[in-house]
């Protein structure tokens, strides 16, 4: 298997290297691609050093079986044809193709078979917040159809990139040293703060991040499920948290929900309130599954259920989900 990573030096690109190694993905050759900024950099993979090649419109993708792309939507759109024209399957992390009718949008635990129908050779990886939410929703939806979802997210700084993580550290240092606080990666100071805005606002008052949860969930779950989201940036470093409220067609008890989460694909149930056991981003960082806890009945609606979900957004929310799609194709 000949595999390519486009955007290899970014936070998600680097996670691809780790996940492919960790899962022993069957690779005969790995080719790394990047922009002028990262071409020539070298990275270790399975004990070997690989140099990043400059991404260009040429025949470098001839012979590549799978290309994981994580260099941003602009690059994905510009290079999709170059990448796929010799038969490579492009598993794309950007939002560029996610809602296109002829591009499947896949979370393997939920709709793996959609990956088979890819007329353009492109499979889209959903947004991190959607991925971790639908893994949890699937477990309940199998018991009774979910009609509505209200969700608030608590998104870690690293969701805005590796440099944003550095800026958060820097802000805390500057505050402790009584210096002026650097703000360039976020709309405001994030240290000792939170920001109720992830990505830009759209015309209806929701942000793009919030509308991704609305649109992508319907497509992945093949459902008319309604999702209303508030996405918030918090000063956690890595792993996104979500407070989720759902309304199902039939009432689901807490016991039934816990059982469904316990048996759910890709889920770890962590729900012992009396022992202060619930998922938290600090402890979910670097983990594969989506963690679910704080399961309780909604007090305003007999068909309502509330719970708390935490997932590593760079791992399951990005690189791992894409690699699992590739594994499904090979199985
Ligand atoms: N859009 C997300 C965020 C990152 O800003 O947190 C998704 O991987």
pLDDT of residue 162: 87
Is 209 a pocket residue for ligand 1 (Cβ < 6 Å)?
A: yes
Confidence band of 115 (pLDDT split at 50, 70, 90) = very high
Task: Dig out the tokens for 214 from the structure.
Answer: 């609305």
* pLDDT at position 18: 97
Alpha-carbon distance of 124 to 92, in angstroms, equals: 5
Give this prediction's pTM.
Answer: 0.97
Percent of the chain, pLDDT > 70? 100
The residue length of the chain stands at 331
Burial class (CB within 10 angstroms; exposed 0-12, middle 13-18, buried 19+) of 69: buried
* 40-73 per-position pLDDT tens digit: 999 999 999 999 999 999 999 999 999 999 999 9
Tell me the pLDDT tens digit for each residue of 258-290: 999 999 999 999 999 999 999 999 999 999 999
Q: Across all residues in the chain, what is the average pLDDT?
A: 97
Atom of ligand 1 nearest to the CA of 12: 8
The percent of residues in the chain predicted with pLDDT above 90, rounded, is 99
For residue 276, the model assigns a pLDDT of: 98
Give the DSSP letter string of 56-88.
Answer: -SSSTTTT-SEEEE-S-HHHHHHHHHHHHTTTP
* Atom 6, ligand 1: residue with shortest CA distance: 159
Residue 15 has pLDDT above 90, yes or no: yes
Q: Is the dihedral of CA 27, 29, 30, 33 positive or negative?
A: negative
Q: What pLDDT score was predicted for residue 88?
A: 98
Q: Which residue from 157, 159, 317 has its CB within 8 A of the most atoms of ligand 1, so it is best to mutate?
A: 159
Mean pLDDT, to the nearest integer, of 108-127?
98
Please choose from 127, 131, 200 the residue to mutate so as to test ligand 1's pocket, defined by most ligand atoms within 8 A of CB.
127
Nearest atom of ligand 1 to the alpha carbon of 314: 8
Distance of alpha carbon 157 from alpha carbon 280, whole angstroms: 15
pLDDT exceeds 90 at position 219: yes
CB 217 within 8 A of CB 148: no
Task: Decide whether any atom of ligand 1 lies within 6 Å of the 160 Cβ.
Answer: yes
**ipTM here:** 0.95
| Residue among 96, 209, 318 to mutate when testing ligand 1 (max atoms within 8 A of CB) | 209
pLDDT of residue 206: 98
The DSSP symbol for 331 reads -
Helices in the chain by DSSP H: which ranges? 11-22, 73-84, 108-111, 128-141, 162-176, 208-221, 254-263, 281-284, 320-330
Q: What's the mean pLDDT in 79-98? A: 98
Ligand 1 atom at minimum distance from 158 CA: 6
What are 194-204's pLDDT values in tens digits?
999 999 999 99
Dist. CA 229–CA 101, nearest whole Å: 23
159 lines ligand 1 (CB under 6 A): yes
Cβ of residue 318 lying under 6 Å from some atom of ligand 1: yes
Asked if residue 111 has pLDDT above 90, the reply is yes
Mean pLDDT of 182-203: 97
């Amino acid at each position: 298997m000949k595999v390519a990573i486009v955007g290899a030096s970014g936070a998600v690109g680097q996670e691809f290297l780790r996940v492919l190694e960790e899962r022993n993905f069957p690779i005969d050759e790995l080719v790394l691609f990047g922009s002028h900024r990262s071409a020539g950099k070298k990275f270790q993979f399975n004990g070997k050093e690989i140099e990043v090649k400059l991404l260009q419109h040429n025949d470098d993708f001839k012979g590549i079986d799978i290309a994981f792309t994580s260099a941003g939507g602009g690059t994905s759109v510009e290079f999709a044809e170059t990448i796929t024209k010799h038969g490579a399957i492009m598993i794309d992390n950007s939002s560029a193709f996610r809602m296109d009718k002829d591009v499947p949008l896949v979370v393997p635990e939920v709709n793996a078979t959609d990956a088979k129908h890819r007329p353009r050779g492109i499979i889209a990886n959903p947004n991190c917040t959607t991925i971790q939410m639908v893994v949890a929703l699937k477990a309940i939806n199998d018991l009774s159809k979910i009609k509505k979802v209200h969700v608030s997210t608590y998104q870690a700084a690293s969701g805005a990139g590796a440099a944003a993580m550095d800026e958060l550290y820097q802000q805390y240092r500057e505050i402790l040293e009584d210096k002026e606080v650097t703000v360039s990666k976020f709309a405001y100071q994030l240290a000792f703060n939170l920001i109720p805005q992830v990505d830009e606002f759209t015309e209806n008052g929701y942000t793009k991040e919030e509308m991704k949860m609305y649109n992508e969930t319907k497509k992945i779950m093949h459902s008319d499920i309604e999702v209303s989201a508030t996405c918030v940036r918090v000063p956690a470093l890595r792993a996104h948290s979500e407070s989720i409220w759902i309304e199902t067609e039939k009432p689901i008890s807490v016991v039934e929900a816990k059982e469904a989460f316990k048996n759910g694909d890709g889920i770890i149930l962590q729900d012992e309130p009396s022992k202060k056991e619930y998922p938290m981003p600090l402890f979910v960082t670097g983990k594969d599954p989506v963690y679910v806890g704080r399961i309780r009945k909604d007090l305003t609606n007999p068909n309502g259920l509330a719970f708390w979900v935490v997932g590593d957004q760079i791992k399951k929310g990005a690189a791992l989900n894409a690699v699992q799609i590739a594994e499904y194709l090979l199985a």
